[in-house]
Structure 1
Amino acid sequence: MAEQKRVLVIGSNGRIGQKVTNKLSEKGYQVLAGSRHTDNLDRDNITYVYVDLLDSVDKLVKNMQAVDVVLFVAGSGGKDLMKIDLDGAVKTMEAAETAHVKRFIMLSTIYSLDREKVASSSIRNYMTAKFYADNWLMKNTQLDYTILQPGALTKESSTGKVTLNDGQASDNSLGNVADVLVSIVANDNTIGKVITMHDGETDIESAVKNS
């Protein structure tokens, strides 16, 4: 049941993080909203907790007690790629394993695992950070992972409809990405999968269940 799951959202203050946190709460999940900004008031199944990805693994572990799912949607916005987008992600994985959390969902980006596309990308440094973080999750942990790879993010209104796993780099509304992440939390058939996405024609619940 959704109400029994406790989800730690790393990067809850970001554009997608805020949406995911609110949507999880609306569905009855107990949400720990993790970021360096904890001046928000706790509300509607949401507890704000201080999480700094520059901290040690031991400190990160403290906020993972009794957590069922870690959802990593953090990013430095290109300002500190190695310490946040790469090492911060890896430390979060290590903390999850130390805290005996099995489920780990990573928000990544399209083509993050394609070394040739990473090398030729106009945002190569960001793509490189995601390449190594995603590979670490897949190859160096025992976590029940899902990696979501959307294309470019837009501020367009969410449609509730997407296309998954066609490998195309097309636009994604922030709301659609958040809704897919929430659906992944609920659907264990996504464990061990890398899922590409963009705005499309299939309702999100059906698309994720058949991914």
Structure 2
Amino acid sequence: MFKFFGRIKTILSSELNAALDKAEDPVKMLDQYMREMGEEIREVEKAVAKQIANEKILKHKKDDAEAMVAKRQKQAEQAVQAGNDDLAKRALLDKKEYENNVETLSKSWEQAKNDCEELKRKLNEMKKEYQQMELKKDSLKARAESAKVKTKLNRTMSSIGNDESKRGFERMEEKVLQFEAEAETSEDLHKASRTLDDEFAKLDNDVDEELANLKRAMAKEE
């Protein structure tokens, strides 16, 4: 009755490790184990219920037989008082049969009662172990999910610093430097391309301004 549950308890850890080695999903496997254990417990509960019912039936039969023993004893006494020894003997013979039945039923009932108590004890142990494994399952599931996230994060961080990404970044940096150099060169060429007329025009502007200043100075002296 408890073979499956015991087997699951024994091999859960080793099978879980094997599943991790094979890259199987430990969360799904844990859920499957718990479903199977739950089914096993329900089967045991049914067996215990049947055993309890059987124990009650035997107890009822034993009590009935004991009642008949007391009844036949009383009837035998009544027959003796009535002077009917033959009827008293018949009552005593029937009483003897019921006494034998009581002995047999008592043994069966005691055995059934002990079996029932043992089954109930084991069932309670199974339920406690199931609850403990349920808590452990939740913990393992949380650890498995955390490990998945860490693995994904580590892979992402590794890809950020790999050679290909680094080379791509360096290429973009070189392009920016090239753009900046081209802009500076274009400014230098623009300055160099100014014509001689531009230079003289600037010079004429300077002379005209100086002449105007001279005339204003002479006018003040007069």
TM-score scaled by structure 1? 0.20
Structure-2-length-normalised TM-score: 0.19
Higher relative contact order (CA 8 A, sep 6+): 2
The structure with more helix, counted as a fraction of residues: 2
Larger proportion of strand: 1
* Structure whose CA Rg is larger: 2
